[in-house]
Structure 1
């Protein structure tokens, strides 16, 4: 008997987008799911649209907002564009929104734009 799985697809809550600029030009990144925590980053079984990420070693990891961090995880690369279901433990591709406008108050987690210019170097996002 084949193994069937039912899935529901959705883009998620994209109200955090401040404009449509950059949506069609989102680049693909590979999510390193081992660096994300189920209860924190995807409590509902999916990584939510708008989650901020960094790119370290060519893969997307959770963005570390700690201002004093010196790791690559402290350099904001952008935001996951659409909800990404987490199935199993394998890494998977996802669209990264790295230029355009973002409404901070609508992001799925509490977020403060990094103050240091070097921590904003990997994207071209205007936060409103």
Structure 2
């Protein structure tokens, strides 16, 4: 006879949104698909552990849209796949299962951003192409 027991766990993640200069645009965030194969561990996301098996994409990550797939990936001003056009910023930390090809996220496509507090190096004045309506502080 087996002894089955229900195990419930809770994980609390504190989202660092110091990069948000205001809440303007947050409520109009757009749901987007993110190509997780384009993310780099340690730079774009925190890798999971035994206690927290999911990878966590960092809030505030600048994103562009890959033209051929329609998926979003980290903004790259020197790319030619569509990600050289800034689409916006990931609103909240987003979990994904290691090995999964994509996940859903929320895109801040208009609002105010503290560029110096983003989780990756970003120079707002260097953005030549954008579809986002962002004011930088």
- 1:54 to 1:6, Cα distance in 2 relative to 1, 3 A: farther
Is the Cα contact below 8 Å between 1:48 and 1:84 reproduced in 2?
Answer: yes
Q: Distance in 1 between matches of 2:93 and 2:5?
A: 27
> Which among 40, 45, 59 is matched to residue 71 of structure 2?
59
Give the SS at the match of 2:20: coil
Is the Cα contact below 8 Å between 1:80 and 1:95 reproduced in 2?
Answer: yes
Is the Cα contact below 8 Å between 2:75 and 2:85 reproduced in 1?
Answer: yes
- Structure 2, unaligned stretches of length 5 or more? 48-54
- What value does the CA root-mean-square deviation take over the aligned residues? 2.2
- 1:29 to 1:9, Cα distance in 2 relative to 1, 3 A: farther
- Cα offset, 1:62, TM superposition: 1.2
Confirm whether residue 89 of structure 1 aligns to residue 99 of structure 2. yes
- 1:7 to 1:83, Cα distance in 2 relative to 1, 3 A: farther
Larger Rg: 2
More helix by share: 1
Matched residue, 1:32: 35
Give the SS at the match of 2:28: coil
TM-score (norm 2): 0.78
Is the Cα contact below 8 Å between 1:11 and 1:49 reproduced in 2?
Answer: no
Is the Cα contact below 8 Å between 2:75 and 2:86 reproduced in 1?
Answer: yes
Matched residue, 1:76: 86
- Structure 1, unaligned stretches of length 5 or more? none
TM-score (norm 1): 0.83
Matched residue, 1:10: 13
